[in-house]
């Protein structure tokens, strides 16, 4: 029994040895795992160690230096071939993924100098610590190339392959599955960015608009915040492709400062007024070869309209563009430009007077240009120019009207604005209207309102955050964007002013943020103010010629009265003012009471034309009377052109009236 028990028990001498071997194995595995995890940062140290060991090993055989020379030549040739291959393929789609020219030069240097050290050690007995120069040379070689390696690692972060793989896997499982937002779609060309990652969506059916319309559903499928995902058309690619960008932080949150008036390219007439989410510049057109480009700017309170106008006006002042500005809010929105533009008005009536003068300048230039001799692009001398050339001979005139709905609410303003919008471009006049939103009533109550909006939106449309989802498609028709859903604050509680969409030369349906002019007073107070040419100024009335006297009086605190009222304008032969006065004059006395009694007796909503037929009044007389009755609370416009007595607002109109 004792022999058996002795044979089955482990030897007391071998037990600690086995335990020691297990401990050593664990430590070795930990070191290997640590070495693998730190392989990128510790690569220069590993290279020094490998070079020292290889040099010592090759010094043992007598002809070891020959092997070192062969390895050096082979490594240099492979590195050079790799660099040339990289230079050719780098022009294609993989350019962002491949190392640059500096990386190729650094790699060639490391292989050549390292091979030379290896050959020297193999020929002279290895590392030889002590008085040998090789330890110092190896350390210097490692530091020189290691510093470049570490700096490159910080400068260009490598794509996180595992993370990108997870994104593509999540897309296939959540979005492209049968129950997902885009069944059968694929996510390709996924790369990391400074703000997250981006890729290309390839739809199985439909076009890119389908992906844009499903952006919120895709955010839900991927479990992402709606504001941290952007989808837009892949410009120049198949209609089935769309670009998706996912943010870990919104790159537009930091914003950019206005760099100065040089943002305007005087050759193309375009200015870089901000950046898109991917850092690309967002352009705004002041003019193009056919003439100036009209503009409309939308945005709710604190959307960034005023600061955007500061930037635009600073750019115009320092690039020879004549700026006329109307700020009906008493000059509170754009106070820095009161004395820094050619003409500034701070009332709605002043804005209407400004439009009258714009019309005079437009016809003066039109008559002059129609007889102007010029040489065309083929060298032919012709007479009568049908287009405008900036600075030849006249400057571009830019008319900015903030809170434009207040001016367009005045009698005769919509017809005047429509005439200018349709005819002024060939005469070098650009109109820029600014509104809270794109509803039709912002453009006045006349039939011209829709035409004005369509003409302005055919040029530049800048749409910051708005207040209603109902107006998104009106301000940017055909665009699959929602300015009303833009956040008011960033996650750090700072304002998103300047964030929006811009329809201009870029035509990108993507978020942009306008440059922020931190010091508009600097640009308003430097340089010289461009003014109207002499021939055009000579045709204007007192509203323009006495503008500086009125401004001085206003700055002294005195009450200022515009000289060109409707009466004096009629006396001066202004056709629009005469038409306005004629319409007002044709309203017979007592027509207000007649129409009020008719609405009360009618008992239900009725159209404006029907009122005119039944009362024997003209349509213009009925329109003016209804406007006055509305102000007095005796009439309500229940629909476009349909009116009712306040007691009968809730009664449905007759079928023929609703159709009319």
- Considering the domain architecture, whether residues 427 and 366 belong to the same structural domain is answered as yes
What is the rounded average pLDDT for all residues in the chain? 82
> For the segment 570-620, what is each residue's pLDDT rounded down to a tens digit?
334 444 444 444 444 445 557 888 888 888 888 888 888 888 888 877 777
Q: Is residue 174 part of a domain?
A: yes
Give the pLDDT mean for 75-92. Answer: 61
**Angular region, 64: left φ>0, alpha ψ -120 to 50, beta rest:** alpha
27 within some domain: no
Give the range with max mean pLDDT: 192-206, 263-277, 357-371: 263-277
Report d(CA 571, CA 580) in Å as an integer: 13
Structural domain of 91: 38-155
Domain count, the chain: 4
**Res 190: pLDDT:** 86
Alpha-helical (H) ranges within 90-155 are 101-123, 134-155
**pTM higher than 0.95 for the full model?**
no
For residue 499, pLDDT beyond 90: yes
Structural domain includes residue 393:
yes
Whether the pLDDT of residue 646 is over 50: the answer is yes
Instruction: Flag whether 559 is in a domain.
Output: no
Q: Between 514 and 329, whose confidence is greater?
A: 514
Give CA separation, 183 vs 164, 166, 205, 229, 592, in Å. 20, 18, 9, 19, 63
Element holding 202 (H helix, E strand): strand 196-202
**Final residue of a structural domain among 120, 155, 190:** 155
Residue 356 and residue 449 in one domain? yes
Confirm whether 82 is domain-assigned: yes
Query: Does residue 601 share a domain with residue 632?
Result: yes
| CATH code: domain of residue 396 | 3.40.50.300
191 φ/ψ angles, rounded to the nearest 5 degrees? -140, 155
What does the pLDDT read at residue 512? 94
Q: Look up residue 173 and give its DSSP letter.
A: I
Same domain, 333 and 402: yes
Give the integer Cα–Cα distance in Å for 85 and 408.
Answer: 64
Indicate if 111 and 126 belong to the same structural domain: yes
* Per-residue pLDDT tens digits for 249-261: 888 988 899 999 9
CA angle 388–391–392, rounded 5-degree value: 65
Residues 143 and 187 in one domain: no
Cα angle value 236/239/241 (rounded, 5°): 85
- If asked whether residues 349 and 283 sit together in one domain, one would say yes
The residue among 212, 247, 282 that closes a domain is: 247
Q: What pLDDT score does 189 carry?
A: 86
Residue 16 lies in a domain: no
Residue 480 lies in a domain: no
Contacts from 262-270 at CB under 8 Å and sequence distance 24+? 263/315, 263/515, 264/315, 264/319, 266/319, 266/390, 269/293, 269/390, 270/504, 270/505
- pLDDT tens column, 533-569: 998 999 988 899 999 999 998 888 887 788 754 334 4
pLDDT at position 67? 82
Residue 485 forms part of a structural domain = no
**pLDDT of 309 above 70:** yes
Q: Are residues 356 and 339 in the same domain?
A: yes
Q: pLDDT digit string (tens) for 95-116?
A: 334 456 677 777 788 888 888 8
pLDDT of residue 17: 67
C-alpha 534/C-alpha 629 separation (Å) is 46
Lowest mean pLDDT among 150-154, 455-459, 514-518: 150-154
Write the CATH number for 228: 3.30.980.40
Clarify whether residues 295 and 327 are in a common domain: yes
Residue 524 pLDDT exceeds 70 = yes
Which pLDDT belongs to residue 16? 66
Judge if 282 and 369 occupy the same domain: yes
> What is the reported pLDDT for 48?
78
pLDDT on residue 308: 95
Q: For residue 3, is pLDDT > 50?
A: no
421 shares its domain with 350: yes
Rg from Cα positions in the chain: 38
Model confidence at 187: pLDDT above 60:
yes
C-alpha to C-alpha distance for 504 and 270, rounded to whole angstroms: 9
Highest mean pLDDT among 40-54, 271-285, 559-573: 271-285
47-66 average pLDDT score: 79
**496 has pLDDT over 60:** yes
Over the stretch 10-21, which tens digit does the pLDDT of each residue have?
455 566 666 677
Whether residue 219 is found in the same domain as residue 338: no
């Amino acid at each position: 029994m004792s022999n058996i028990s002795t044979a089955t028990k482990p030897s007391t001498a071998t037990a600690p040895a086995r335990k020691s071997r297990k401990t050593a194995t664990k430590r070795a595995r930990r070191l290997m795992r640590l070495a693998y995890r730190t392989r990128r940062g510790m690569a220069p140290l590993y290279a020094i160690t490998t070079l020292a060991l290889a040099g010592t090993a090759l010094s043992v055989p007598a002809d070891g230096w020959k092997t070192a020379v062969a390895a050096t030549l082979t490594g240099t040739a492979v590195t050079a071939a790799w660099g040339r291959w990289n230079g050719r393929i780098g022009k294609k789609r993989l350019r962002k993924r491949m190392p640059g020219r500096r990386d190729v030069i650094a790699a060639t240097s490391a292989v050549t100098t390292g091979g030379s050290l290896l050959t020297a050690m193999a020929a002279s007995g290895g590392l030889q610590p002590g008085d040998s120069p090789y330890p110092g040379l190896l350390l210097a070689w490692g530091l020189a190339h290691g510093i470049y390696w570490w700096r490159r690692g910080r400068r260009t972060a490598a794509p996180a392959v595992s993370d990108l793989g997870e994104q593509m896997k999540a897309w296939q499982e959540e979005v492209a599955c049968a129950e997902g937002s885009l069944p059968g779609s694929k996510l390709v060309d996924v790369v990391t960015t400074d703000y997250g990652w981006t890729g290309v969506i390839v739809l199985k059916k439909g076009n890119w608009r389908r992906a844009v319309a499903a952006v919120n559903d895709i955010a839900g499928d991927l479990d992402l915040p709606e504001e941290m995902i952007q989808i837009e058309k892949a410009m120049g690619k198949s209609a089935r492709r769309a670009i998706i960008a996912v943010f870990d932080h919104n790159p537009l949150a930091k914003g950019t400062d206005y760099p100065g008036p040089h943002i305007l390219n005087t050759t193309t007439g375009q200015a870089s007024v901000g950046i898109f989410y991917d850092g690309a510049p967002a352009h705004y057109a002041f003019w193009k070869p056919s003439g100036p480009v009209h503009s409309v700017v939308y945005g709710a309170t604190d959307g960034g309209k005023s600061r955007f106008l500061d930037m635009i006006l600073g750019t115009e002042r320092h690039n020879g563009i004549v700026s006329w500005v109307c700020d009906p809010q008493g000059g509170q929105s754009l106070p820095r430009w009161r004395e820094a533009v050619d003409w500034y008005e701070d009332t709605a009536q002043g804005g209407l007077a400004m439009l009258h003068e714009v019309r005079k300048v437009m016809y003066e230039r039109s008559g002059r240009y129609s007889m102007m001799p010029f040489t065309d692009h083929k060298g032919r001398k012709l007479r009568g120019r049908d287009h405008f050339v900036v600075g030849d001979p006249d400057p571009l005139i830019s008319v900015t009207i903030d809170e434009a709905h207040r001016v367009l609410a005045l009698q005769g303003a919509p017809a005047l604005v429509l005439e200018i919008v349709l005819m002024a471009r060939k005469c070098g006049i650009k109109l820029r209207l600014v509104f809270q939103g794109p509803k039709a009533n912002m453009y006045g109550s006349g039939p011209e309102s829709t035409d004005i909006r369509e003409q302005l939106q055919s040029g530049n449309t800048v749409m910051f955050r708005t207040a209603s989802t109902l107006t998104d498609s009106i301000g940017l028709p055909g665009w699959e964007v929602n300015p009303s859903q833009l956040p008011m604050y960033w996650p750090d509680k700072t304002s998103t002013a300047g964030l929006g969409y811009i329809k201009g030369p870029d035509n990108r349906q993507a978020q942009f943020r306008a440059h922020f002019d931190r010091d508009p007073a600097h640009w308003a107070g430097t340089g010289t103010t461009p003014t109207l040419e002499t021939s055009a100024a000579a045709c204007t009335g007192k509203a323009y010629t006495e503008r500086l006297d009125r401004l001085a009086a206003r700055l002294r605190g005195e009450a200022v009265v515009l000289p060109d009222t409707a009466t004096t304008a009629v006396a001066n032969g202004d056709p629009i003012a005469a038409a306005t006065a004629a319409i007002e004059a044709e309203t017979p006395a007592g027509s207000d009471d007649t129409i009020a009694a008719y609405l009360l007796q009618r008992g239900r909503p009725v159209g404006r034309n029907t009122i005119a037929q039944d009362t024997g009044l003209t349509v213009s007389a009925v329109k003016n009377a209804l406007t006055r009755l509305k102000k007095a609370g005796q009439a309500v416009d229940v629909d476009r052109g349909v009116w009712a007595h306040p007691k009968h607002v809730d009664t449905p109109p007759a079928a023929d009236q609703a159709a009319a």
